[in-house]
Structure 1
Amino acid sequence: MGGQAFAAHFPTPRMSLAIYKHVLTQTQTILRNYYTNVSSAIEGPGKTTYGDVDVLVAGPLPHAFPPGTPVAEKLKQALHAKACIQDKGNPTMNFAVPWPRDVASIEHESEEKAQISDENDTWENNTQELNWELFHSAHGDLWNILGTTIRPYGLTVNNHGLYIRIQEIEIVERKKSMVFLTDEPSRVLDFLGLDEEKWWRPFGSQEEMFEYAGTCRMVWVKEEVDVVEGEGEEKEEKGEEKEKKKLKHNDRRRLAQRPIFKAWFEDFVPRCLKEGKYDIPRTTREQILTDAFEKFGIEEEYNTKLKEWSYTRHIDELTRDAIKKTIPVDGVDGQLRAAAIRTLKGIILEGEEFEGKIPDAVVKDENGFYDLEVVKRFVGENWEEAGRIGMGRQHVRAREAMIAKAEKRKKEKELGDGIE
């Protein structure tokens, strides 16, 4: 949490590289007494101070945590932590660990400083989740850069894996548009065109990491022309400003808070534009989709999801626009209108007969879709009769319910008289 989890309770200053390495090694050594897998993600290049120590763990050892003993409390004791924070349902545990006295003395820190705490964040996962998180958290801001790069091509990477978005759905419902591709790092890197061996090594500098990111086959820096609405005039802007205009709100926030992310857009991208690097698109969103079908075998799932979503939207549109909006509101009895809607939905969606036959409005095309214009015309011409039919059915049901209720009371009375 960037060293901020305990900011209101303990002073948690940023750590030098020496202290960070010491605390990281010490923490991992202790945690290996409790878990089979203990690791930390590769840090981003150029960091000289650290806000916290992040450790990922998986596979609790047998008898490491006796029944009835909270995991966080056990680890707090093992780490000699002053405090622990863990939100309910969250696998992340935050520990305030005492500042190491021995390292502090090497760096000539005062005795008072040796009592200050540093923050230790531990994530408890299963092995697959751990491997993915190590991959997804590697190199600091690199995934922020890559995520922004691959987004226009319909790809999303999150805490669970790589996804492709269905373009027709994402405009309306972004979360529902996502189709899972893989959570295997090697397959992700291969699909993005990134060298796997280089990924698992720390980058020596920010520039080296940027050059590596540039090998992603979706990196494309380009001059964009913005047209002023209503004037038809081209507004010239510097390349970096145009690139920044494409950023989402979260990206703009990162731009203000993340120096390396900011350097990508304000230093590296303008330099590439000037040098003519990555200025020719290497692929398209359509090609990425085709490649995803081939490499991940998701074509059937993708098409089925799109078809089901499209059909659901179509039925919503039919009910809302072709039926409900076609029936007048002003001057129409509310009960009659409600009865008409119920009856027409039964006729069109359930295939019920109307005046002794199945109307043309019920006919669907080869994809199972209705002709909305035909439906609207049918509703406009027949909603009053449909309403009368619906009201009649409602009266019949009410009468039947009353008869059934009377019969029940009669039987209960007869049963009571028999007992007496």
Structure 2
Amino acid sequence: MGGLAFASGSEPLYTPRMPPEIYQVVRDHCHAVLRQLFICVATPIEGPGKEDYGDIDIFLAWERKKIFPSKRVVDSLKGLPEEPLQAAARLLKAEKTRTEQSHSLTLAIPWPEGPQDSAKQKDPASTQVNRRNDQVEEDTKRRFIQVDLHYCQNIDQLQWMLFKYAHGDLWNILGTTIRPFGLTIDGVGLYLRIPEIEKEDRKKAKVLLTEAPASILDFLGLKFDGRQWEERFAHFNDVFEYAATSRFFWARWNQPPDEDGIVCEEQTGVETDKKKLKSNDRRRMNQRPLFRKWVEEFLPKCREEGRFGNAQLTRDEVRDQAFARFGVKREYERRLAEWRMQRQKETLWRDVIKASLPEELDPMWRGCAASALKKIIMQDDDSFGIRPQRNLRDESGLYIEEYVREFAQDSWKQVGDVAWRKNHERYLEHLKNKGTKRTVSGGDKVNDDISNANTAHATRVRDEKEVKDV
């Protein structure tokens, strides 16, 4: 959360950004303390060139007392809360905690006091005379550090999270690079998106390709045979050059205006790049210096120098490569077929079946007929004694809408008459089951109801015949 989790509320805490030396000292101290509770404690490789830090991310796995339930380990943890993250907060002497997601806990722990920190807090007069009063006040505030703890369910998940968040904004950069080709990476793995589904349901559109970091890097064409994933990059440009080695990276060259001064549709530039970004990427432009430099400096420079401008793969080609590499074609096609069937069920009833009946029919009779057609066509109901003479579906199971429309238009009157008669019979049976009820005059009310129902039915049938004759 960038160190702002406790900056607001009824009792906000002051959590200023940390210089690198404070960050490293506190990170290492937290790791040492947390190893009393967890066997695996790690922080992702930091991004390059950071002058300060907003918070400390720590990923945890394998609770020690569960993996090694010895008496010595259990005794050493006596008095601590049973819940592991709450126990971690106690050991780190957290002033406040906050829970945003399950298996995660955000802490505010005291800022370490060194000789300079202690003197600065006790002697505000030591600040420079020309500094503003609010700056003096900040220097005298009690400071805290935000620590975000993430409890991973297994070692594989921990390894994945360290991979996903390594090198700061590297995966934000790679995400914008691979997104046009239908690829997405999240907190689980690499996915292939189904274009027909993604605009309406992004979650259902994702087909998992792999959770293995090495397989992902290999498919993206990124090297991992050296120390790229063992230590931090020295400079921003090192991250950019590494990301640009992906086989999906393409910095289209700027196209000059034509002779009339009109810019070609293929014209690219910083503003064009920004427009193509998703909303969360545009937010990163304001909050993440590394990502901003990628968009505003590295991409334009590549175009100016004519680098990485070769023709690129198409989305369909990438899809076929993913099928061949990860064997997900069957799952992809199954997901797409299910989605198409679901979508067709929603439109078939509204746009084909109901639309096939004349609008001028009595609304009640028309609704009865349409409902019966729906049961026959979409639920294979044969209780009406009327069935299509040919299969209304293709080999994939989708309805052939032309066949459905023809069947509905040819049979709505016959189906409607049968459905209306069946409804009338059910109504009479309902009245019969209610039993004979005596009226004040001593007559049988049920007989009157049945007589009235028969009269109404006869009138409706006559009206429908007139409509048909017309």
Sort the TM-score into its range (normalised by shorter chain). 0.7 to 0.9
Counterpart among 105, 113, 121 of residue 101 in structure 1 = 113
Structure 1 stretch 123-132 or stretch 48-57: which is displaced more? 123-132
Alignment of 1:178-257 (within 5 A): 178-196=206-224, 197=226, 198-223=228-253, 234=264, 237=267, 239-257=269-287
Q: TM (normalized to structure 1)?
A: 0.86
Residue of structure 2 in register with 1:417 after alignment: none
> In 2 relative to 1, CA 107–283 (structure 1 residues): closer, same or farther, beyond 3 Å?
farther
Counterpart among 371, 396, 409 of residue 380 in structure 1 = 409
Residue of structure 2 in register with 1:38 after alignment: 41
How far is 1:401 from its partner?
4.1
> In 2 relative to 1, CA 31–233 (structure 1 residues): closer, same or farther, beyond 3 Å?
closer
Residue of structure 1 in register with 2:52 after alignment: 49
How far is 1:243 from its partner?
2.5
> In 2 relative to 1, CA 48–293 (structure 1 residues): closer, same or farther, beyond 3 Å?
same
In 2: Cα distance, 1:323 partner to 1:366 partner? 21
How far is 1:311 from its partner?
2.3
Structure 1 stretch 171-180 or stretch 77-86: which is displaced more? 171-180
Structure 1 stretch 5-14 or stretch 207-216: which is displaced more? 5-14
Matched, 1:392 2:421: yes
> In 2 relative to 1, CA 280–238 (structure 1 residues): closer, same or farther, beyond 3 Å?
closer
> In 2 relative to 1, CA 38–405 (structure 1 residues): closer, same or farther, beyond 3 Å?
farther
Alignment of 1:16-415 (within 5 A): 16-62=19-65, 63=74, 64=77, 69-87=82-100, 90-102=102-114, 105=116, 109-111=120-122, 115-126=142-153, 127-196=155-224, 197=226, 198-223=228-253, 234=264, 237=267, 239-329=269-359, 331-352=360-381, 358-360=387-389, 362-404=391-433, 406=435
Structure 1 stretch 372-381 or stretch 335-344: which is displaced more? 372-381
Residue of structure 1 in register with 2:443 after alignment: none
How far is 1:7 from its partner?
0.9
Residue of structure 2 in register with 1:4 after alignment: 4
> In 2 relative to 1, CA 115–170 (structure 1 residues): closer, same or farther, beyond 3 Å?
closer
In 2: Cα distance, 1:57 partner to 1:355 partner? 63
Extract unaligned runs of 5+ from structure 1: 408-420
Secondary structure at the aligned position of 1:56 is classed as strand
How far is 1:49 from its partner?
0.6
In 2: Cα distance, 1:218 partner to 1:65 partner? 53
In 2: Cα distance, 1:343 partner to 1:20 partner? 70
- The amino acid that maps onto 1:131 is Q
In 1: Cα distance, 2:209 partner to 2:248 partner? 17
> In 2 relative to 1, CA 356–7 (structure 1 residues): closer, same or farther, beyond 3 Å?
closer
Extract unaligned runs of 5+ from structure 2: 66-73, 123-138, 437-470
State how many pairs are aligned.
400
In 1: Cα distance, 2:98 partner to 2:256 partner? 49
Contact 1:101–1:114 under 8 Å retained in 2? no
> In 2 relative to 1, CA 294–349 (structure 1 residues): closer, same or farther, beyond 3 Å?
same
Structure 1 stretch 131-140 or stretch 285-294: which is displaced more? 285-294
In 2: Cα distance, 1:192 partner to 1:22 partner? 36
CA RMSD of aligned residues (A): 2.8
Q: After superposition, what is the alpha-carbon deviation per residue over 1:379-420, rounded to whole angstroms, capped at 9, x for unaligned? A: 23433443332222222233334445659xxxxxxxxxxxxx
Structure 1 stretch 308-317 or stretch 21-30: which is displaced more? 308-317
- The amino acid that maps onto 2:97 is C
Secondary structure at the aligned position of 1:199 is classed as coil
Q: After superposition, what is the alpha-carbon deviation per residue over 1:238-264, rounded to whole angstroms, capped at 9, x for unaligned? A: 533332332222222222222211111
Secondary structure at the aligned position of 2:300 is classed as helix
- The amino acid that maps onto 2:88 is L
> In 2 relative to 1, CA 389–279 (structure 1 residues): closer, same or farther, beyond 3 Å?
same
Q: TM (normalized to structure 2)?
A: 0.78
Secondary structure at the aligned position of 1:101 is classed as coil
Equivalent pairs: percent with the same residue? 38
Secondary structure at the aligned position of 2:356 is classed as coil
Structure 1 stretch 258-267 or stretch 27-36: which is displaced more? 258-267
- The amino acid that maps onto 1:105 is Q
- The amino acid that maps onto 1:263 is K
In 1: Cα distance, 2:158 partner to 2:5 partner? 22
- The amino acid that maps onto 1:152 is P
In 2: Cα distance, 1:115 partner to 1:67 partner? 26
Secondary structure at the aligned position of 1:50 is classed as coil
> In 2 relative to 1, CA 384–226 (structure 1 residues): closer, same or farther, beyond 3 Å?
farther
Secondary structure at the aligned position of 2:209 is classed as strand
> In 2 relative to 1, CA 324–401 (structure 1 residues): closer, same or farther, beyond 3 Å?
same
> In 2 relative to 1, CA 355–10 (structure 1 residues): closer, same or farther, beyond 3 Å?
closer
